[in-house]
């Protein structure tokens, strides 16, 4: 799977960084502080943006953002945790899919099935890829659950399946790696897997060995526990590069 200059496939060492600023001025400062040549994908976490309910502001910010990041693939993500704000979340996705500039939308697998399918259809009609994601901030599910989750995400129309778990023991990191390895060999859809937390750091630099297509590193702020700075991840990847 290729998006602009980036290939998403098992074993690829792609680095994604989330943009977490609250205003365009801060977002611009954040982008210009990043080593963009070391970043493969950017994610705009619009849930962190102060004007996220202003559709005109979102459209203009997206236009300026695309000008600034040039050809770097962009994920548009609204990470809404409360059911009462889901309608606003869906409305925002529907609005942004009418605009240009994004390459992916990220949808939580917990959203209503009919809404996920609707947004998947709209995205694909626009030529936008869909990431279906699940975040477990407590632990690491068993292999059977992960397998069912990946199948469900694929059935919903995901182009990429993302799974972020929390590792509290080394065994949980190994479980994630083993399951990722087996599922990446059994599915054509790229998997983006990682473990959060202190122990999870190892999964963020070694996940590609077991079939993950990308990892998340931190820019000015971490978007999840256990992320390593993007410059450090890039340096480690260079050290681990095949000769």
Active-site residue set: 135, 162
Question: What is the β-pairing status of strands 6-7 and 14-19?
Answer: unpaired
Determine if residue 218 is labeled as part of a ligand binding site. no
Are the C-beta atoms of residues 31 and 19 closer than 8 Å to each other? Answer: yes
Determine if residue 133 is labeled as part of a ligand binding site. no
* Those residues with Cβ within 8 angstroms of residue 110's Cβ, 6 or more apart along the chain or in another chain: 134
Quick check: helix, strand or coil at residue 210?
Answer: helix
Determine if residue 227 is labeled as part of a ligand binding site. yes
CA 66, 121, 39, 22 dihedral sign is positive
Residue whose pair of structure tokens reads 């690829």 in the numeric block:
12
DSSP classification of residue 36: G
Determine if residue 79 is labeled as part of a ligand binding site. yes
Are the C-beta atoms of residues 181 and 151 closer than 8 Å to each other? Answer: no
CA distance 14 to 1: 13
Determine if residue 45 is labeled as part of a ligand binding site. yes
Determine if residue 66 is labeled as part of a ligand binding site. no
Determine if residue 110 is labeled as part of a ligand binding site. no
Q: Is 142 exposed, middle or buried (0-12, 13-18, 19+ CB in 10 A)?
A: exposed
Determine if residue 221 is labeled as part of a ligand binding site. no
Binding residues: 18, 43-45, 79, 204, 223, 227
Binding residues for 3-dehydroquinate: 18, 43-45, 79, 204, 223, 227
């Amino acid at each position: 799977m290729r998006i602009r200059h980036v290939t998403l496939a098992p074993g690829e060492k792609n680095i994604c960084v989330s943009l977490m600023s609250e205003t365009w001025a801060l977002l611009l400062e954040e982008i210009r502080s990043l080593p963009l040549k070391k970043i493969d994908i950017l994610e705009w976490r619009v849930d962190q943006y102060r004007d996220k309910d202003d559709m005109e502001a979102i459209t203009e910010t997206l236009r300026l953002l695309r000008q600034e990041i040039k050809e770097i693939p962009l994920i548009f993500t609204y990470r809404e945790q409360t059911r009462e704000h889901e309608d606003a979340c869906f409305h925002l996705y529907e609005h942004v899919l009418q605009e240009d500039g994004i390459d992916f939308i990220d949808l939580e697998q917990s959203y209503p099935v009919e809404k996920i399918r609707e947004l998947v259809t709209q995205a694909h009609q626009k030529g936008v890829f869909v990431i279906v994601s699940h975040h477990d901030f407590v632990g690491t599910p068993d292999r059977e659950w992960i397998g069912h989750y990946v199948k469900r995400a694929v059935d919903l129309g995901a182009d990429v399946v993302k799974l972020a778990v929390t590792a509290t023991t080394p065994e949980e990191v190994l479980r994630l790696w083993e399951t990722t390895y087996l599922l990446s060999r059994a599915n054509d859809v790229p998997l983006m897997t990682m473990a959060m937390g202190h122990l999870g750091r190892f999964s963020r630099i070694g996940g590609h060995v077991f079939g993950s297509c990308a990892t998340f590193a931190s820019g000015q702020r971490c978007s999840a526990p256990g992320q390593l700075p993007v410059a450090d991840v890039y340096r480690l990847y260079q050290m681990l590069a095949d000769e």
